[in-house]
């Protein structure tokens, strides 16, 4: 009985930790911009060990209904003292495509660990896989994604894309 209880608790903890995030919806006061993003009020979703993320979609109303997608990456405990004025964060897809963003270093010379990548084609990102994320600074830090985290990322991206 004790073993069954332990197995059941482990199963519940595993399902909870790998659960898809809810999508939060908000509209600005003017009513012309809707925002859809993952619920990170409890915790950020994990992309790789030490790398968490949030996906946001801004939907602009008007004659040309258009969407803007952003992927915010948060590197846990990653603070790098660097001589450069900026650093580059790259997401490498399995088809060879590279999504990059440059982050300006704070006045004190330290990187705060957060960066936002603009997603130009979310449908292509949904079809491809992010293999790794590289932070180029005084040394390169490489985050390799597991198959399980890739699948969960796709589910979360699809949820943000289809949210109404």
Q: What is the 3-state secondary structure of 72-93?
A: EEEECCCCCECCCCEEEEEEEE
- The per-residue pLDDT for 44 is 81
152, part of any domain: yes
The better pLDDT of the pair 22, 16 is held by 22
pLDDT, tens digit, 9 for 90 and up, residues 20-58: 678 877 887 777 788 888 887 777 888 888 888 888 888
Structure tokens at 67: 């969407």
- The per-residue pLDDT for 42 is 77
- The per-residue pLDDT for 15 is 46
- For the chain, give the mean pLDDT: 79
Long-range contacts of the stretch 21-30 (C-beta < 8 A, 24+):
21/45, 21/156, 21/159, 23/159, 23/160, 23/163, 25/163, 25/164
Distance CA 68, CA 119 (A): 8
Alpha carbon 100 to its chain's center: 13
Is residue 11 predicted with pLDDT exceeding 60?
Answer: no
pLDDT, tens digit, 9 for 90 and up, residues 61-80: 876 668 889 988 888 766 66
11, part of any domain: no
Which of helix, strand or coil describes residue 31? coil
45, part of any domain: yes
Q: Report CA torsion sign: 86, 103, 77, 157.
A: negative
pTM for the whole structure: 0.75
pLDDT, tens digit, 9 for 90 and up, residues 80-126: 665 556 778 888 988 888 888 887 776 666 667 788 888 888 888 88
- The per-residue pLDDT for 147 is 92
Which of helix, strand or coil describes residue 67? strand
26, part of any domain: yes
158, part of any domain: yes
Neighbours of 48 (CB within 10 A): 19
155, part of any domain: yes
2, part of any domain: no
10, part of any domain: no
Q: Say which residue the tokens 């608790």 belong to.
A: 9
DSSP string, 104-116: EPPTTSB--SEEE
Question: Containing domain of residue 128, as a range?
Answer: 20-162
Domain count, the chain: 1
- The per-residue pLDDT for 148 is 92
pLDDT, tens digit, 9 for 90 and up, residues 122-158: 888 888 888 999 888 777 889 999 999 999 999 998 9
């Amino acid at each position: 009985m004790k073993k069954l209880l332990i197995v059941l608790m482990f199963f519940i903890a595993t399902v909870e930790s790998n659960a898809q995030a809810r999508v939060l919806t908000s509209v600005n006061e003017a009513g012309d911009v809707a925002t859809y993003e993952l619920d990170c009020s409890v915790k950020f979703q994990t992309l790789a060990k030490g790398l968490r993320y949030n996906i946001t979609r801004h939907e602009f109303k008007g004659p040309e209904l258009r969407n803007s997608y952003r992927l915010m990456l948060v590197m846990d405990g990653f603070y790098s003292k660097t001589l450069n004025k900026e650093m580059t964060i790259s997401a490498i897809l399995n088809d060879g495509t590279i999504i990059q963003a440059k982050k300006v270093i704070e006045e004190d010379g330290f990187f705060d660990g957060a960066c936002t990548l603009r997603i130009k084609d979310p449908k292509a990102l949904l079809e491809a896989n992010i293999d790794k994320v590289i932070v180029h600074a005084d040394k390169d830090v490489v985050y390799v994604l597991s198959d399980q985290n890739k699948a969960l990322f796709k589910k979360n991206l699809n949820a943000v894309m289809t949210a109404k």
